[in-house]
Amino acid sequence: MLKRKRSLNTDSLAALSASVLAAIVGLLLALVILLICDAKNAWPGFLTLITGGIREGGIKAIGDILYQAMPIMMCGAGLAFAFKANVFNIGGGGQFLMGSFVAIYTAIKWEFLPGVLRWIVPLIVAALSGALWALIPGLLKAYRNVNVIISTIMMNYLARYLVNSLIKASIYNVTTGQSKSIPAAAKMPTLGLDKLFPGSSANIGIFITIAVCIIIHIILNKTTFGYELKACGLNAAACKYAGIREKRTIVVSIMISGALVALGGALLYLSGSGRNIRVYDTQPTEGFTGISIAILANNSPLGVILSSLFISFLTIGGQYIQSYGFVKEIVNIVTSSVIYLSAFTLLLRVFFDSAARKRQAKLSHTESEKGVTT
């Protein structure tokens, strides 16, 4: 028993060190970009980046980091869940938008709800909407074998234009060109985090998100459903053989994934920080950042907590670099290259690892199946 625990730890340690290495590579690239743009200010700018702006922003920056981490953490957890089942859900953007819209709509329109239900119900309804939205590509995959990557990307566009017209038809604020703001009554409680981190928008959502990550971790590692889900991700044919209903597993996994991503959108807008949905053509970035976060965490829900905090930390740090004369666009390039490069480095590593492992396995276990030739 003791031995088992130890080996588990060394496994996750190896994964963690890979992620840390990937992050360092990403940071080095950021430094290079800063040096190219403005060599003189590059170093102080870099220091700000890697201290998360806490030097400049102090306690507020910490609150901002928590607030920024919340939606992307939820997205990362949702996407990691689907990735474990080998369902490549790229539809985070669309699911996030659906969740955001439904949350704002119910927060504004369902005034009849009493007390805390004013924000709890919108969260739940938003999650349901994300699940339903993801149900479509799930069914297409399970029963028509439509590639999930393609169908979810298409669903992203559908969601964007659907949400745009729904906002215009119901909760449009003509002067700002955005959705209306949620009423104060539907705002999520801050649980004193506004006092702890004055000036930031941190609220109960971060706790909800961390709790969800832990629950997802338990589902994946301790339950029969998690066992089935990972098995389907690793070897669908063996699942069929074992009588695991892989179609159902695929559909359920992408629905849960969609629900969590949508919940991420709902948390962001129910924070009541003054942000509203803009009616325009691009996808919300959280869906894609969520992919990087999941990859950086090696699809581990607990790892998602760390990787999303790391990325939020960089984003906030990046905002403070502007004081060194770097324009906003440069700052965006820097932070996004760290995010994507770290994810990319890790992806490469995973890729090389599995290629090497397959090669080795083929050599050391030669007797194997016949009839795999088709």
Ligand X SMILES: Nc1ncnc2c1ncn2[C@@H]1O[C@H](COP(=O)(O)OP(=O)(O)OP(=O)(O)O)[C@@H](O)[C@H]1O
Query: What one-character DSSP code corresponds to residue 173?
Result: E
Residues 6+ apart with CB under 8 A from 177: 278, 279
Helix (H) or strand (E) holding 257: helix 246-270
Residue 242 binds other proteins (CB under 8 A)? yes
Residue 367 binds ligand X (CB under 6 A)? yes
Residue 360 binds ligand X (CB under 6 A)? yes
| Residue 98 backbone zone (phi > 0: left; psi -120 to 50: alpha; other: beta) | alpha
Residue 224 binds ligand X (CB under 6 A)? no
Q: Provide the 3-class DSSP secondary structure of residue 123.
A: helix
- Which range of residues in 152-160, 179-187, 261-269, 360-368 is near ligand X by CB under 6 A? 360-368
- Which range of residues in 9-17, 269-277, 297-305, 357-365 is near ligand X by CB under 6 A? 357-365
- Residue 348 CB burial class (10 angstroms; 0-12, 13-18, ≥19): exposed
DSSP string, 45-83: HHHHHHTTTHHHHTHHHHHHHHHHHHHHHHHHHHHHHHH
Q: Report, in Å, the least distance between residue 105 CB and ligand X.
A: 55
Residue 175 binds ligand X (CB under 6 A)? no
Q: Kindly write out the interface string for residues 346-365 of this chain, putting x where it contacts other proteins by CB under 8 A and - elsewhere.
A: -----------x-xxxxxxx
Q: Report, in Å, the least distance between residue 48 CB and other proteins.
A: 42
d(CA 314, CA 24): 12
Residue 281 binds other proteins (CB under 8 A)? no
Confirm if 294 and 80 have CB atoms less than 8 A apart. Answer: yes
Half-sphere exposure of 106 (CA within 13 A, CB side): 22
Residue 369 binds ligand X (CB under 6 A)? no
- Which range of residues in 205-213, 243-251, 276-284, 287-295 is near other proteins by CB under 8 A? 243-251
- Which range of residues in 44-52, 90-98, 157-165, 227-235 is near other proteins by CB under 8 A? 227-235
Residues 6+ apart with CB under 8 A from 209: 69, 70, 73, 74, 77, 264, 267
Q: Report, in Å, the least distance between residue 15 CB and other proteins.
A: 14
Task: Kindly tell me which residue out of 145, 175, 224, 282 binds other proteins, with binding defined by CB under 8 A.
Answer: 224
Q: Judged by CB, which is closer to other proteins: 95, or 298?
A: 298
- Which range of residues in 6-14, 155-163, 273-281, 359-367 is near ligand X by CB under 6 A? 359-367
Write phi, then psi, for 236 (nearest 5 degrees): -65, -35
Residue 366 binds other proteins (CB under 8 A)? yes
Q: Site residues (CB under 6 A) for ligand X?
A: 360, 364-365, 367
